[in-house]
Amino acid sequence: MGISVILQAKAGSDAGYSDAMYVEKGAKVVPSRKVILRTVNILVSIRSGAADIETTKRALNDLKLGSVIIGLMNPYKPADVFAIMVRKKMTAFALELVPRISRAQDVDVLSSIASVVGYKGVLMAASLSKKMFPMMITAAGTVSPAKVFVIGAGVAGLQAIAMAKRIGASVSAYDIRPEVKEQVESLGARFISFDLEVDQVKGEGGYARKMDEDFYRKQRVQMEHIFSESDVVITTAAVPGKKAPILVSKNLLAALKPGSVVVDLSADSGGNCVDAVLGKTITTKNGVIISAPLNVASDIATHASQMLSKNLCNFITHIIKNKHLSLDMDDEVIQNTLIIHQGAFRRNAIIPKKD
């Protein structure tokens, strides 16, 4: 595309990519972050507006007036960082807001992250579990497969179901959106339905909507019998822009057998399990192991980076023509993700606080 690319030295080293590999592909590697920020027209990074606030503020202050920023922004939360972007007449794309349409799949960073998280979550559960996942017929008798229950069958959940099946577990799954039943069953898992009013569950863009506490309470009650027969529970339930719903209550934890494992893959958005300690693995008094890992994709950094870079590269091809920024305002991908254009807010979701 004729764009020159500058990368901070060692930016890829923890993901298995050396500086030399980037140089070989034509990028310039520069040690100083400040020098880079003062040079570039477009900044592409994973958490452009959603890293810790002070780091983000410093980076934004170093960027040139009118810079373009692309990355995850946590656009649902009012934040000081957006006020700086406005003041500096920046243009910002929040990749959380990529629409759930077929055409946008190749720029969907959240789906890439969720795929990696679903896969890794199962491996974490298998290594914490005191049971083997596959059935084994041995001279010492037959070992029955571990029973895995996946809550939330979106991108991460479906990947977790597929992975748990691959390593031989007996898998059941539940999602608030009944239309995923077919997808769950096509992976060879059992879809669990509950007797709940589900007309209103679908929110914007194919995501689930936030429900009231009474609905979540009814869900928890109905899940009790599944918990009593599960060895592993993997939770992935999320609602965009909201704290994850608490679906695994104290009662449900009490229904699990000692030695059972809960891997809470919604930890990044607050967690689905009442007793989860975000970022930690703990064992309850009843001997249930609860793990709530944060930023799981970074554990599989080589492939997570590869997928992210492909998504970002595809995104850039949407917005650059003849080496210059060229925005097709009728394009749904641009319409959804462009939160600030040349210093002006474009989405009501963001209410900037005073800088």
Catalytic residues: 100, 105, 108, 111, 207
Q: Report which residue's Cβ sits closest to ligand NAD.
A: 154
User: Which part of the chain contacts ligand NAD (CB under 6 A), choosing from 8-16, 231-239, 281-289, 309-317?
Assistant: 231-239
Which residue, 18 or 317, has its beta carbon nearer to ligand NAD?
A: 317
Q: Applying CB under 6 A, does 340 fall inside the site for ligand NAD?
A: no
Cα distance between residue 153 and residue 176, in whole Å: 9
Which residue, 104 or 338, has its beta carbon nearer to ligand NAD?
A: 104
Site for ligand NAD in 243-272 (CB under 6 A): 245, 247
Strand locations in 239-342, DSSP E?
261-264, 281-283, 289-291, 320-321, 324-325, 338-341
DSSP 8-state symbol, 240:
T
- For residue 208, the minimal CB distance to ligand NAD (Å) is 3
Which residue, 145 or 157, has its beta carbon nearer to ligand NAD?
A: 157
* Cα dihedral across residues 82, 307, 173, 187: positive or negative: positive
Which residue, 90 or 246, has its beta carbon nearer to ligand NAD?
A: 246
- For residue 301, the minimal CB distance to ligand NAD (Å) is 21
SS3 string, 45-66, reads CCCCCCCCHHHHHHHHHHCCCC
Task: Tell me how far apart the terminal alpha carbons of the chain are, to the nearest angstrom.
Answer: 37
Q: Applying CB under 6 A, does 289 fall inside the site for ligand NAD?
A: no
DSSP 277-291: -TT-EEE-TTS-EEE
Q: Which secondary structure element, helix H or strand E, spans residue 7, and what is its range?
A: strand 6-8
Site for ligand NAD in 180-209 (CB under 6 A): 206-208
Cα distance between residue 238 and residue 244, in whole Å: 5
Site for ligand NAD in 208-227 (CB under 6 A): 208, 219
- For residue 281, the minimal CB distance to ligand NAD (Å) is 22
Site for ligand NAD in 107-166 (CB under 6 A): 108, 110-111, 114, 151-157
- For residue 68, the minimal CB distance to ligand NAD (Å) is 23
CA proximity to 199, closest of 217, 215, 182, 222: 215
List the beta bridge partners of residue 174: 151
Q: Applying CB under 6 A, does 337 fall inside the site for ligand NAD?
A: no
- For residue 232, the minimal CB distance to ligand NAD (Å) is 17
Site for ligand NAD in 31-90 (CB under 6 A): none
CA proximity to 154, closest of 170, 175, 138: 175
Helices (H), 107-169: 109-128, 155-166
- For residue 139, the minimal CB distance to ligand NAD (Å) is 42
Q: Applying CB under 6 A, does 238 fall inside the site for ligand NAD?
A: yes
Q: Which of 20, 52, 65, 102 binds ligand NAD (CB under 6 A)?
A: 102
Cβ 68 vs Cβ 298: under 8 Å: no
Q: Which secondary structure element, helix H or strand E, spans residue 235, and what is its range?
A: strand 232-235
Q: Applying CB under 6 A, does 175 fall inside the site for ligand NAD?
A: yes
Q: Which positions touch ligand NAD (CB under 6 A)?
A: 100-102, 104-105, 108, 110-111, 114, 151-157, 174-177, 206-208, 219, 236-240, 245, 247
